[in-house]
């Protein structure tokens, strides 16, 4: 039997799942001084955490019952539900924080299951790589009942200095996560293509990088302006309109093709812009392309 | 006849082409106190600049002969060469700064023409919209003979506080410009798609924007890391490798498709990543995709 002794007045926590992220989360709780119980489906993990003060539970139920708040972070929602469903009784009247990555649809299903079993449920998305977990700059997004987030905010800030509450819809953390990744991969791909284009004219990537950063530096203002335009549905193009910008994309496309470079991303960007121009947005801002991104209702 | 009187020891300049950018450039020279002559192919332009102290030349040759340094900024290199070729004699032993936007190939042709006629030639690319021209934060890229840039750096800084010299290859400003635009449009398109994805789950663009900015904020570090990897040809994936990231792109693709959103850009990104994985880069960093962007030699 595991005997839990709370050494301080910090919330006793459990972490289910000791992959790289689960271990980082448990480590952050330990660093903050929380009584921390850990468990992993397959054995042989967590000994490093025990050396740092964690208790290794023999069963997931034992871990949950030792804690006031349980964090689960595993590979996907199939895995998290497989672990959680047998624990419904143990979790009732306790707090479950699911930091597993998954589709908004799966989060809503998990939240419905939790509600049916009287489990207080917050969903979350870890937005930083494992080495940053627990740090002041680490961002974890949370969604669910606001009073629960507020009650445990200090505990959750042990995991991420930037613990952000998004709203009552449990899926919001997953939605923001997806949208942020959407921009992330578009930019990652754009970065590499930019380096490839420059390389064709003998420009080293390290020479170009500081100039690419001037583009990254203007994105926040552009995103804020676009957001206001999109929410208002008012896409009035001022400095640069969609027709002018699409001509610029077409120029890039031709320059890339001339150099034998892949043009898939540029063609996809131009196809959307062309569709928006055909729909009458030529004199509007680039943000007007959102009106043609929805293909079916 | 136009009588030029230099009111101070600043370099007398001419600006050929009075479109929006030409007018902004001439205005910046006037603000800095340069004796400034302006000319436009079609009449009826430049009266506002005359009111601010500019001399309006009747011919391009008159403008060039009044100045030590001539800036030309017109719609494209066909237009700039049409203006410049009859001025070869007037430009000989003077300094020509071409800020017209164009392909690197066209810049090299223009530079060859200038060299054949004994014209000192700098090429440049204006990286900011007209309202920022002349400001401390304005960025204009220059390329050509370094001693010429250095001699006229103070004059050129009247146009842009961030007047940057890239190297001796005249096409470099155009190459950097293209590469920066490449990242710019990839990110613009990614931004709008991210807003569209969030909107499907009832998240307002203005609510999402601050979180998208956290992605923009990490791009400089990523670009620097990628640049070092690309120049070294060493793509060792550490935190996140291409296989894991491509699975994440695939997830985004399915989420977008489920919501009826355009997936062209994501499909293009995934196609490149899949090709890189097939070539053995699955455990490498995302920067390794540069190895499959070149389709033909």
The pLDDT tens digits for A199-247 are 999 999 999 999 999 999 999 999 999 999 999 999 987 767 999 999 9
Bridging pattern class, strands A139-144 and B69-72: unpaired
**B262 and B151 housed in the same domain:** no
Here the CATH number for the domain that contains residue A140 is 3.40.50.720
Residues of A with CB below 8 A from B296's CB?
260
The answer to whether the beta carbons of residues A122 and A171 sit under 8 Å apart is no
- For residue B239, pLDDT beyond 60: yes
Domain boundary residue, one of A168, A192, A224: A168
Minimal Cβ distance to B195: which of A130, A141, A290: A290
Residues of B with CB below 8 A from A249's CB?
185
- For residue A1, pLDDT beyond 50: no
The residues facing B142 across adjacent strands are B124, B165
Average pLDDT of every residue of chain A: 95
Here the CATH number for the domain that contains residue A244 is 1.10.1040.10
The answer to whether the beta carbons of residues B205 and B198 sit under 8 Å apart is yes
Tokens of B250: 């695939």
DSSP one-letter string for B68-81: SEEEE--SSHHHHH
pLDDT in tens, B193-234: 999 999 999 999 999 999 999 999 999 999 999 999 999 999
Cβ–Cβ below 8 Å for A180 and B261 = no
pLDDT in tens, B22-50: 999 999 999 999 999 999 999 889 999 99
The answer to whether the beta carbons of residues B72 and B97 sit under 8 Å apart is yes
Tokens of A281: 């947005």
Instruction: Look at residue A31 and tell me if it is in a domain.
Output: yes
Q: How many domains does chain A have?
A: 2
**A137 and A234 housed in the same domain:** no
For chain B, what's the residue count?
Answer: 297
Interface probe, candidates B102, B215, B239, B269, chain A, greatest A C-beta count within 10 A: B215
Question: 3-state class of A94 per DSSP?
Answer: coil
pLDDT in tens, A234-282: 998 776 799 999 999 999 999 999 999 999 999 999 999 999 999 999 9
**A34 and A164 housed in the same domain:** yes
pLDDT band for position A70 (cuts 50, 70, 90): very high
Tokens of A24: 């980082």
Residues of A with CB below 8 A from B262's CB?
272, 292-295
The span from the CA of A192 to the CA of B280, in Å, is 18
Minimal Cβ distance to B260: which of A268, A271, A294: A294
Instruction: Look at residue B245 and tell me if it is in a domain.
Output: yes
The pLDDT score that the predictor gives to residue A297 is 57
Range of the domain at A241: 204-292
Instruction: Give the number of beta-carbon pairs within 8 Å between A and B.
Output: 328
Terminal Cα distance for chain B, rounded = 56
* A2-9: average pLDDT: 55
Instruction: Look at residue A86 and tell me if it is in a domain.
Output: yes
Share of chain A above pLDDT 90, in %: 93
**A262 and A163 housed in the same domain:** no
Residues of A with CB below 8 A from B204's CB?
227, 231
**B228 and B284 housed in the same domain:** yes
Q: Specify the DSSP class assigned to residue B85.
A: G
Q: In this prediction, does ipTM exceed 0.90?
A: yes
Domain boundary residue, one of A143, A168, A193: A168
pLDDT in tens, B255-293: 999 999 999 999 999 999 999 999 999 999 999 999 999
The pLDDT score that the predictor gives to residue A8 is 66
Instruction: Look at residue A95 and tell me if it is in a domain.
Output: yes
Instruction: Look at residue A175 and tell me if it is in a domain.
Output: no
Residues of A with CB below 8 A from B206's CB?
224, 227-228, 231
Instruction: Look at residue A176 and tell me if it is in a domain.
Output: no
**B257 and B164 housed in the same domain:** no
* B230-251: average pLDDT: 90
**A242 and A131 housed in the same domain:** no
CA of B2 vs chain A CAs: smallest distance (Å): 35
The span from the CA of A279 to the CA of A289, in Å, is 10
**B161 and B210 housed in the same domain:** no
The pLDDT score that the predictor gives to residue B9 is 85
**A225 and A124 housed in the same domain:** no
**A19 and A162 housed in the same domain:** yes
CA of B13 vs chain A CAs: smallest distance (Å): 27
Helices (H) and strands (E) in chain A, counts: 11, 8
The answer to whether the beta carbons of residues B20 and B42 sit under 8 Å apart is no
Cα–Cα distances in angstroms (integers) from residue B72 to residues A276, B77, B85, B117, in the given order: 33, 10, 12, 17
Interface probe, candidates B21, B187, B203, chain A, greatest A C-beta count within 10 A: B187
**A112 and A158 housed in the same domain:** yes
Q: Specify the DSSP class assigned to residue A86.
A: G
Instruction: Look at residue A224 and tell me if it is in a domain.
Output: yes
The pLDDT score that the predictor gives to residue B184 is 97
**A121 and A27 housed in the same domain:** yes
Domain boundary residue, one of B144, B168, B192: B168
Residues of A with CB below 8 A from B290's CB?
192, 195-196, 199
pLDDT in tens, B40-83: 999 889 999 999 999 999 999 999 999 999 999 999 999 999 99
Average pLDDT of every residue of chain B: 95
Instruction: Look at residue A185 and tell me if it is in a domain.
Output: no
């Amino acid at each position: 039997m595991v005997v839990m002794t709370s050494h301080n007045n910090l919330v006793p926590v459990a972490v289910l799942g000791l992959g790289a992220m689960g271990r980082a989360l448990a480590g952050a709780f330990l660093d903050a001084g929380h009584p921390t119980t850990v468990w992993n489906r397959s054995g042989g993990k967590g000994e490093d955490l025990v050396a740092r003060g964690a208790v290794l539970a023999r069963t997931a139920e034992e871990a949950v019952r030792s804690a006031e708040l349980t964090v689960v972070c595993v590979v996907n929602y199939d895995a998290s539900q497989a672990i959680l469903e047998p624990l419904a009784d143990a979790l009732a009247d306790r707090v479950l924080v699911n930091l597993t990555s998954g589709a908004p649809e799966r989060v809503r299903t998990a939240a419905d299951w939790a509600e049916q079993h009287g489990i207080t449920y917050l969903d979350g998305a870890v937005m930083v790589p494992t080495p940053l977990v627990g740090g002041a700059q680490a961002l974890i997004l949370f969604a669910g009942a606001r009073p629960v987030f507020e009650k445990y905010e200090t505990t959750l800030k042990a995991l991420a200095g930037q613990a952000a509450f998004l709203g009552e819809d449990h899926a919001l953390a997953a939605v923001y996560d997806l949208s942020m990744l959407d921009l992330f991969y578009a930019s990652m791909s754009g970065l590499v293509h930019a380096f490839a284009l420059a390389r064709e004219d003998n420009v080293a990537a390290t020479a170009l990088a500081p100039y690419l950063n001037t583009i990254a530096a203007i994105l926040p203002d552009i995103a804020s302006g676009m957001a206001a335009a999109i929410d208002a549905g008012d896409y009035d193009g001022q400095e640069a309109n969609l027709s002018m910008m699409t001509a610029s994309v077409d120029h890039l496309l031709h320059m890339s093709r001339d150099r034998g470079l892949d043009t898939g991303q540029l063609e996809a960007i131009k196809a959307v812009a062309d569709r928006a121009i055909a729909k009458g947005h030529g004199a509007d801002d680039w943000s007007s392309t959102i009106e043609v991104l929805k293909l079916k209702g």
